[in-house]
Structure 1
Amino acid sequence: MSRTAGRGPRRLIRWWRRRSLRARLTVIAATAIAVSVFVAFQVASELLAWQLRDTVEEQLRADARVLAANAERAGPAQVELPPYPGSGQLVRVILPDGSIRTPAGQPVLPPVSENAGRVARGTSADLLESNGGDEEGYAIYTLRAGDGAVQVARAVDDGPVNQFGFGMLLIGLLCVAGGALVGRTVARTGLAPIDRLTSAAVRVAHTRELDADIPDEGGGEIRRLIQSINDMLAALRDSRQAQRLLAEDAAHELKTPLTSLRLNVELLIRLDRRGTLDSALPAESRTRLLNDLGAQVAELSTLVAELTDLARGDVSDESTEVLDFADVVAAAATRAESRMPDIEVALDVTSVWVNGRPAALERAVLNLIDNAGKWSPADQPVQVRLRTEGESVVLEVDDGGPGIDAADIPRLFDRFYRADSARGLPGSGLGLSIVQRVVDAHAGRATVARSARGGALLRVVLPAAASPTPIARPTTGEDTATS
């Protein structure tokens, strides 16, 4: 039973959801007007009926006072009753013995009620009552007159109210039809910008053209919607441009190592087919060639890994968390020392907290240390310092190399950019670009300057976060370490 009863509302909801926005607005407008007309009809009908009742009562009271004044002068039994006019008002006199007098030819009124009898006996005040039969009802006003009472009655006529209701019904139907028409017109006019917006979006989806902005028209929510879509298209254009530039840069950077690798491999294959590999390439030359091949393969692997990381478009899919940046820096320094055994990394860190992605931050710190390790002499350690400055966390990576030329500083964090002095060193030119992207994703900034030792000083500033524990790690020898 309950399941069957619940199907109707669910079907109505499904039907409503399948309607277009125009149809919904039309139905809402017509329904609102219908409810308004119905409420107005009820209120107006009550006001009209009240006004009619009040008018009838005032007329009955006035006529009753005139008749009562005559009855008091002449007596209820001798007072002259006005002849019945054929319609409208009816009169009756209640004598002291309970009998009644009525004009000749007047329709019979309902019997005298008990309350009216008490008025005639003088035990009750004047009385207005309604007596209704099966066919016709009367409003009867009873007023004490001498030792009896007089009654003035009028038939209760609902005709004006019924006529008014019928007229209101016709007006309501016309208003509902007009409301539906107006609602559909308003919906069509109001949704015209949405239609044009939809057409523009469909055109963009079909043509894949992101260059043309959607015209900004309308106001309020429509304008904000159009602006949001234009912002989305601009972001898509920037993303497509970035992808195109990345593909072009990657193709350019991969061309040189791939060409060198292909030429060396073709040389080995050609000499091997001729059977002159041993004679044409002595052991020393062959070893040097194989070492070059290994270095080129390693360089390609590093470049492909960095390109893959850079092409993700975001730092990573890992979630952010409040973490101790000192642990991230220490982990990155350990990885850097394992990759560059000849380079010493000197840590001077203190426990600071940031809100970030640990793997991405570790990759950025590792790239900074790797970059510094390429320039630092063997007897000059890479100095890594971590501290707080106000509401920020500051990481500094200081190398003892020759420093960076002023002309190279503006482009140091660009993708694939390598200074002239770094052309002979291993690397892809993507490491510092990845650092910049990670720092930007964490609402920080990266800068470069000359260190006190004359080398490069790479500086990363990130927003500090509150410690997740109320007790901070004490500053001891464990917080400052040299590895």
Structure 2
Amino acid sequence: MSGGAAGRGLRRLTRWWRRQSLRTRLTVIAATAIGVSVFVSFQVASELLDRKLRDTAAEQLRADSRVLAANAERAGLAQVELPPYPGSGRLVRVILPDGSIRTPAGQPALPPVSGGAGRVAQGASSDLLESTDWNDGYRVYTLRAGGGAVQVADLADDSPVNEFGFGMLLIGLFCVVGGGLVGRTVARTGLAPIDRLTAAAVRVAHTRDLDADIPDEGGGEIRRLIQAINDMLAALRDSRRSQRLLAEDAAHELKTPLTSLRLNVELLIRLDRRGTLDSALPAESRTRLLHDLGAQLAELSTLAAELTDLARGDVSDESTELIDLADVVVAAATRARSRVPDIEVALDVTSVWVSGRPAALQRAVLNLVDNAGKWSPADQPIQVRLRAEGASAVLEVDDAGPGIDAADVPRVFDRFYRADSARALPGSGLGLSIVQRVVDAHGGRAAVARSARGGALLRVDLPAAAPADR
């Protein structure tokens, strides 16, 4: 039961401690630390003082005993004159060779001669310091002299130690109270930057104003904390800005295909309601219109998929693994051929191992091949090359199209960007942007240049896996 009660008490104390504020904890810790320090100091100082007083008293007893012994040697133990008892202070006694004792007149009786003191009187040893609990307790020093012994005793007095302890207790209480006040002040001063930081964070949470950076103040850990929060706010600003731009760009890009799709569907509905669908739209026109509707739906599906991929903020949820990039390139080329049979892809790949996400890398390679397929002439194949170059895996997609104008090169990998010459071609302007994001996520670099055939040369450099990792 006692163990269970102690456990419950400890748990309640732990819960109480956890509910307290950091200020209260620091105050309690400071007061406790000072109290423990004062207590330990008191114990050590009391022990040292008591030992010093005992040593001093013992030395005084020895000195008085030597004086009395010298007198006894000259006059004899039976005739030596014993100092009269002054009413307080030291007590003396002479032990004669026959075991009898002499004491000054009027002196209080000392404890009986101990066996050790008797052996000193008989010559077994030269001296003896002993303590007795008789009455209030005596310290008795026995010294061999003149065939017997002389004894000098004093009453053990602990009052100096007790007075010292009482003084230390008062000082300790004062220090504990002062320590609590100092701890409270230090906690208030030290936590003031935290209070201001909390107020600033609450203000940002209420106003949702991510542009209001928290003032950088203080030093050490406080400064690093403020900088970390400001970096987090900056990341949130960038994320919100990216989301807003994505939404604006998506709205802009979706407007044209949705408008065209809506007009075509409304036309079909209107003609069907009038009953003039067959007469107003010959079979050839209906076929062309339905083909346009299918193409617009396919374009919307592609755009929605790419927007979803971009809006996720990460390449994918798949894990990183060690893969042969040549297998990824071959799989992407196979998918490109199945999607557009007219595309001819010439592969020149060597085995290069990388650490990455297979599906994301295949999507990036497929987008590169699809982009090249829009521009490359039907009689000219798209050349896809993969090789190891130093510590990098280098992938190049080369087409024989008209190439990319110098003015368009800086914005090739921007989202929704389409050159003037590409306005009439299908696509959303997101393919190369996804390539850029996948490459960045893998620690690589994407670039565009003019190929030797006059078309565009898109190059991707990815870190190759170390031989030990393979």
Sort the TM-score into its range (normalised by shorter chain). over 0.9
Mapped pair 1:44 → 2:45: yes
Return the letter of the residue paired with 1:99.
Answer: S
Corresponding residue number in structure 1 for 2:410: 410
Contact map agreement 1:94 1:100 (CA 8 A) in 2? yes
Letter of the structure 1 residue corresponding to residue 175 of structure 2: C
Distance 1:393 1:6 in 2: 63
Match of 1:111 in 2: 112
Provide the secondary structure at the position in 2 that maps to 1:142: strand
Whether the 8 Å contact between 1:397 and 1:459 is mirrored in structure 2 is: yes
**What is the CA–CA distance in structure 2 between the aligned matches of 1:162 and 1:258, rounded to whole Å?**
97
The question of 1:70 aligning with 2:71 is answered: yes
**1:12 CA drift (Å):** 2.2
Q: Is 1:102 aligned to residue 103 of structure 2?
A: yes
Give the Cα–Cα distance (whole angstroms) in 2 for the partners of residues 73 and 217 of structure 1: 87
Pairing of 1:46-445 with structure 2 (within 5 A): 46-133=47-134, 135-445=135-445
Q: How far apart, in 1, do the equivalents of 2:236 and 2:469 lie?
A: 41
CA distance in 1, matches of 2:126, 2:335: 109
1:93-150: per-residue Cα shift (whole Å, max 9, x none)? 11101111111111111111111111111111211111112x3111111111111111
Aligned letter for 1:331?
A
Q: Residue 466 of structure 1: CA displacement? A: 2.7
Structure 1: stretches of 5+ with no match in the other structure: 471-483
Q: For residue 465 of structure 2, what is the aligned residue in structure 1?
A: 465
The answer for unaligned runs of 5 or more in structure 2 is: none
One-letter identity of the residue aligned with 1:398: D
Q: How many residues align?
A: 469
Residues 175-199 of structure 1, C-alpha deviations (whole Å, 9 max, x = no match): 1111111111111111111111111
Letter in 1 for 2:173: L
Q: Distance in 1 between matches of 2:327 and 2:12?
A: 59
Deviation at 1:6, TM superposition (A): 2.9
Q: How far apart are the structure 2 equivalents of 1:211 and 1:256?
A: 34
Give, in whole Å, the separation in 1 of the partners of 2:7 and 2:386: 65
Q: Contact (CA 8 Å) 1:315, 1:438: kept in 2 or not? A: yes
Q: Equivalents in 2 of 1:411, 1:156: separation in Å?
A: 99
Aligned amino acid, residue 192 of structure 1: A
The letter of the residue matching 1:166 is F
Query: What secondary structure is seen at the aligned counterpart in 2 of 1:270?
Result: helix
Q: Which residue of 1 aligns with 2:7?
A: 6
Aligned residues of 1:91 and 1:150 also touching (Cα < 8 A): yes
The runs of at least 4 aligned residues of structure 1 exceeding 6 Å deviation read: none
Q: Distance in 1 between matches of 2:45 and 2:177?
A: 21
1:386: how far off?
1.3
Percent identity over paired residues: 85
1:389 maps to amino acid: E
**Offset from partner CA, 1:295-318 (integer Å, 9 cap, x none):** 111111111110110111111122
SS at match of 1:425: coil
TM normalised by structure 1 equals 0.95
C-alpha separation in 1, matches of 2:339 and 2:325: 21
- Determine the C-alpha separation between the residues in 2 that align with 1:5 and 1:383: 79
Q: Which moved more, 1:207-216 or 1:355-364?
A: 355-364
Mapped partners of 2:442, 2:72: distance in 1: 104
Matching residue's letter, 2:207: T
Q: Deviations over 1:5-63 (max 9, x none)?
A: 43332222222212111111111111100110010000110111011011101111111
More displaced stretch, 411-420 vs 114-123: 114-123
Match of 1:403, SS? coil
Q: Name the SS of the counterpart of 2:66 in structure 1.
A: helix
Contact kept, 8 Å, 1:416 with 1:430, in 2: the verdict is: yes
Aligned match of 1:477: none
Distance 2:86 2:322 in 1: 99
SS at match of 2:446: strand
How far the C-alpha of 1:456 sits from its partner, in A, is 0.9
* 1:479 alignment counterpart: none
Higher deviation after alignment, 10-19 or 167-176: 10-19
- Aligned to 2:448, the other structure's residue is in SS state strand
Distance apart, 1:468 and its partner CA: 6.9
1:21 match: 22
Q: Deviations over 1:339-395 (max 9, x none)?
A: 111111122222222121121111111111111111111222111111111111111
CA contact (8 A) 1:71 1:146 kept: yes
TM-score by length of 2: 0.97
Q: Which residue of 2 aligns with 1:474?
A: none
| Amino acid in structure 1 at the alignment position of 2:409 | I
Assess if the C-alpha contact under 8 Å between 1:322 and 1:468 holds in 2.
no
CA RMSD of aligned residues (A): 1.3
- SS of the residue aligned with 1:367? helix
Contact kept, 8 Å, 1:382 with 1:398, in 2: the verdict is yes
What's the offset of the Cα at 1:73?
Answer: 0.3
